[in-house]
């Protein structure tokens, strides 16, 4: 008997411009993704993928070192811990 596994993918646009500053961008993007994660859970998604650098702008195409301040340790960084908690909830 086949088993259906529902998967989802979130690819979202940055909600704030670079002039907003790193903390504001990160908070806005995490808040946006938490809502999208909750929505995916309501739709019975079992495996959910987020885009790389989901909590900030995709800065890899430029050589601006200020974006490096968005980095965190994995998996014990604050965003990793938050996502683990949200995964346990759902």
Query: Over the stretch 47-63, which tens digit does the pLDDT of each residue have?
Result: 999 998 899 877 777 77
Residue 30 has pLDDT above 90, yes or no: yes
Assess if residue 29 is contained within a domain: yes
pTM of the model: 0.87
Domains contained in the chain, number: 1
Name the average pLDDT for the chain: 91
Assess if residue 1 is contained within a domain: no
Residue with tokens 């908690």: 85
Please indicate whether residue 59 or residue 20 has the higher confidence score (pLDDT): 20
Percentage above 70 pLDDT, the chain? 100
Dihedral sign, Cα of residue 60, residue 34, residue 77, residue 44 = negative
Q: Domain residues for 57?
A: 7-89
Assess if residue 68 is contained within a domain: yes
Please give, one letter per residue, the 3-state secondary structure of 17-82: CHHHCHHHHHHHHHHHHHHHHHHHHHCCCCEEEECCCCCCCCCCCCCCHHHHHHCCCCCCCHHHHH
């Amino acid at each position: 008997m086949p088993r259906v596994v529902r998967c989802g993918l979130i690819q979202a646009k940055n909600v704030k411009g670079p002039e907003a500053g790193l903390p504001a961008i990160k908070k806005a993007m995490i808040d946006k993704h938490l809502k999208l994660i909750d929505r995916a859970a309501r739709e019975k998604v079992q495996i959910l993928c987020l885009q790389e650098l989901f909590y900030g702008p995709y800065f890899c195409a430029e050589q601006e070192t200020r974006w490096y301040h968005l980095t965190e340790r994995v998996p014990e960084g604050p965003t990793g811990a938050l996502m683990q908690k949200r995964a346990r909830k759902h």
